Each structure stands twice: as C-alpha cells, then as structure tokens.
Amino acid sequence: MLGLLAGPGLPWTGNQTDLGAPLAWDLAELPLDYVIGDAGSDDIADGSDAVAIGQGFSAWSEVQHSSLAWTRETDPVQTARTDWEADDIRLVLFDEDGSSGLFPLGVGLVAVTVFEFDTGSGALLDADVLFNGAEFSWSTDLSAGSFDVRAAATHEAGHAAGFAHSALGGASMAPFTSPRAFSMRMLSNDDRAAAEVRYPSGLRGQITGSLELHGVPMGGAHVWCRASDGRVASSTLTAADGSFTLSGLDPGVYRVVAAPLDSPLSPADLDALGAPVSNLFFRQSSSGGHVISGVESLGIGVLQASDDSAIAVIGPKQLIRLTKGSVTAVTLSVV
C-alpha cells in the first residue's frame, strides 16, 4: 500500500503516512547534507546547474523561525556516485536517458523526489531528487523552451524536506511549472510557514476554525489568511470535518478567506486524499479583524459559507507537473 497521504488542516500541504504521521527528518539530523552529481545536465556546460541547485536548497535554509537547513557535500567520492537508490546518500541527479524508470514518456514529470521513510513514525530516512533530462531541456538563464534549474530545485528541495504541494499558485510548492518560469525560485509566505511549522526554531501564532455550509462541514476547501498589508501569510486545506489551522503567523491583524479548491489546482494535484471535497460550488467567504498579538492560538469559530453557481478557473496552457504522487516515485521502508 502506498504510505503517502497529504495532511489536510496544515498551513500548506504536508506529506504524511497512511497512519497520519507527518513525514519529516529527525531534528537531531539537521543540517541535512546533500550531494549534486558530477555529471550535471547535458544542456549546461559551464557548471551553473550545480550553482542553481545549491541556491534552490539554500532558499529553505534561510527561512527565519525554522531550523531546517541543507548543507552541500562536495567530497569527490560522493559527487561521483550515481546510485540514487542507495539509502546512505541524498543525491541530486539529471536522468538523461530515462534509466531511472521514474519518467515514463508522455506523463509530463519534469522532476521528482523519491522518499524512503518509516511507515509508522513518518521519519524520513532518505530522499533523492532527479531531473528529467531525457524529455526536457534545462537552463539557468531562462533559455527559450527550457525549464529553470533553480526553480525546480527549490520545489524539489521542499519535497525532500517532507512537504507536498501548496494550493497557492504563487508558491514554490505549487504543483505546476512551464518553460522559462522562474517564480518558484522565491519562497512564498506559505512555503516559509511550512518550514517554520514542521521544523520550528521558535513558536508563532496561529488561527483555528472550521468551515460549514448549511451546517454541513466543508472538507477539502482552500482557506488562507491575509495580513493587513495584503500579503497571504498562510494557507491550508480544511480537514474532512471542516476544521483548519493557519500557522506561522507574526503579530498583526488578519482576514481569513475560504474558497472552493478549483482547477487548475485540484485535490488530486495536491495529493489531498485525506480531505474529500464536499462541495466545489460555494461562494468565497471571509472573516476579518482577527488579531494575533504574539505566540497564541486564536479560535475564530465557524466560518459560514453560502451557495454559489459553478465557476471554473481556467489555468495557463501547457502546464507540466513538477511532481505527481505515484507508486513508482515513492519507496516505502518499514523499520
């Protein structure tokens, strides 16, 4: 059985086992070392691909209020390795000939992270990142028709830390990318909240509540909060019982907004198997004036949704999935 589910009710979508344990590295293992394979990308001859990968991993190490940290291992013995299946190395490679078996033609996987974890506790034991060089072109200068190495590396480094996909289209952990897209290089507030909650270095504020429509709990809805300056500070999916928690909040005044999780970001894209969508057709609802003054949990009660007509969100054409949950992309380990 595939022991990988998304975690509804978190301020981002986090991987978890089928027993509900979140996937995460033991804090005692931090910082986490990783190795970039010497071969690099066939499309890049100047070594800038390794620099871009390092920048992608470093983005997560620079999150305030988080202990998550990545360190690049440069031992020549290790960088010469290509055995990503081994569990004693966190390896980053370009698969130029499809030999990994992780990129079936036509599936549209640009890059993938392979996990090994304890199916009971959720403790991560190994993670390796592979870029699809057999089917797609790569660059570090946004060359026409190519995918950006740094953007994809930032996204996959998040997966390697145990994070799944975000429901925010502007987040580094959003499930889609396209040629020359580079916005994923920069972490969003939602991405930073993921690092702060799963790998905390200090406590932050949070807002809790639930979403209902005519007294019925709304599972699988998208909930986020905006700070007074207009930025999205945190987001989540409601759990099956309609509950939600928006974490990682600085002191300030927030407005909580709930809306249907509609295309192009769907529950399937977010691996949201634990929070079935109750109703895609309800009107966006909000509640404002919620004050976080420090380290506290502020309960705002029930947010009432109202009926609305069906609305379909049309996304950009020719989007290609960065990752998609599949049995071939996950290695299970029972310890």
Which letter does DSSP use for residue 27 in this model? G
Q: Is residue 302 situated within a structural domain?
A: yes
Same-domain check for residues 223 and 98? no
* Beta carbons within 8 Å of 106's beta carbon, 6+ residues apart: none
Question: What is the structure's pLDDT at 274?
Answer: 46
Quickly state the pLDDT bin for 61 (edges 50, 70, 90): very high
Question: What is the structure's pLDDT at 275?
Answer: 46
Per-residue CA distances from 205 to 61, 193, 236, 248, 249 (Å): 21, 11, 15, 6, 5
Lowest mean pLDDT among 85-94, 188-197, 303-312: 303-312
- The mean pLDDT value for 184-197 works out to 90
Q: Is residue 264 situated within a structural domain?
A: yes
Question: What is the structure's pLDDT at 127?
Answer: 95
Lowest mean pLDDT among 88-92, 142-146, 228-232: 228-232
Same-domain check for residues 161 and 236? no
Residue 158 sits at φ, ψ, to 5 deg, of -65, -45
| Largest CA-CA distance found in the chain, in angstroms, rounded | 62
**Cα–Cα distance for residue pair 94/97, rounded to 1 Å:** 9
Q: Is residue 335 situated within a structural domain?
A: no
Quickly state the pLDDT bin for 21 (edges 50, 70, 90): confident
- The mean pLDDT value for 309-329 works out to 36
**Edge-to-edge order in the sheet of strand 70-72:** 70-72, 32-36, 91-95, 124-132, 111-117
| Confidence check: pLDDT of 280 > 80 | no
Listed residue (132, 277, 271) closest to 211, CA to CA: 277
**Cα–Cα distance for residue pair 24/22, rounded to 1 Å:** 6
Q: Is residue 58 situated within a structural domain?
A: yes
Same-domain check for residues 38 and 115? yes
| Confidence check: pLDDT of 206 > 70 | yes
Same-domain check for residues 144 and 220? no
Same-domain check for residues 231 and 107? no
Bridge-based pairing of strands 5-7 and 32-36 is unpaired
Same-domain check for residues 187 and 104? yes
Question: What is the structure's pLDDT at 281?
Answer: 73
Helix ranges, 43-172 (H): 48-61, 76-79, 149-160
Burial of 86 (0-12, 13-18, 19+ CB in 10 A): exposed
Q: Is residue 251 situated within a structural domain?
A: yes
The CATH number that applies at residue 231 is 2.60.40.10
List the domain range (segments joined by +) for residue 238.
203-307
| The two three-digit tokens of residue 126, written as one number | 């190994």
Bridge-based pairing of strands 124-132 and 111-117 is antiparallel
Residue 98 sits at φ, ψ, to 5 deg, of 75, 10
Specify whether the CB–CB gap between 156 and 110 falls below 8 A: no
Quickly state the pLDDT bin for 302 (edges 50, 70, 90): very high
Question: What is the structure's pLDDT at 250?
Answer: 87
b/e sequence 33-60, b meaning 16+ C-beta within 10 Å = ebbbbeebbebbeeebbbebbbbbbbbb
Q: Is residue 312 situated within a structural domain?
A: no
Question: What is the structure's pLDDT at 277?
Answer: 54
Summary mean pLDDT of the chain: 82
Strand partners, 70: 32
Instruction: For 92-145, write each residue's pLDDT tens digit.
Output: 999 999 999 998 888 788 999 998 999 889 999 999 999 999 999 999 999 999
Q: Is residue 334 situated within a structural domain?
A: no
Where is pLDDT greater, at 231 or 38?
38
Domain count, the chain: 2
Question: What is the structure's pLDDT at 16?
Answer: 67
**Cis (ω within 30 of 0) for the bond into 276?**
no
**Cα–Cα distance for residue pair 240/235, rounded to 1 Å:** 16
Where is pLDDT greater, at 273 or 50?
50
